[in-house]
Amino acid sequence: MTPMPPPKASTEGPRDRHVHHEIGQLVRALQGQGPQRPEELAALVGSDYWESNRFDRALALAVSDGLITRRGDGRVAAI
């Protein structure tokens, strides 16, 4: 009898789950405070305490997922 192959690696690792939490923080901050410039949003969510580039990544993913939109005046807003 042949041994069973190992289970497939999960497509969602801890960092992937973490970015979903970060995106949620961005959306909630924008829902509560209204449209913000990215640097203002970063301050609202305390991104200085996040790992390097995590804020930019979370914001880019939120925009690409259609949860946040970039406005013509340079601010971002929750959809």
Could you name the CATH architecture of 14-78?
Answer: Orthogonal Bundle (1.10)
Q: Where are the domains of the chain?
A: 14-78
Distance CA 64, CA 66 (A): 5
Give residue-wise pLDDT tens across range 38-70: 999 999 999 999 999 999 999 999 999 999 999
Among positive and negative, which fits the CA dihedral 12, 13, 16, 17?
positive
Least confident of 13-22, 32-41, 50-59: 13-22
Q: Which residues contact 61 (CB under 8 A, 6 or more apart)?
A: 19, 23
Contact status, residue 59 vs residue 38, Cβ threshold 8 Å: yes
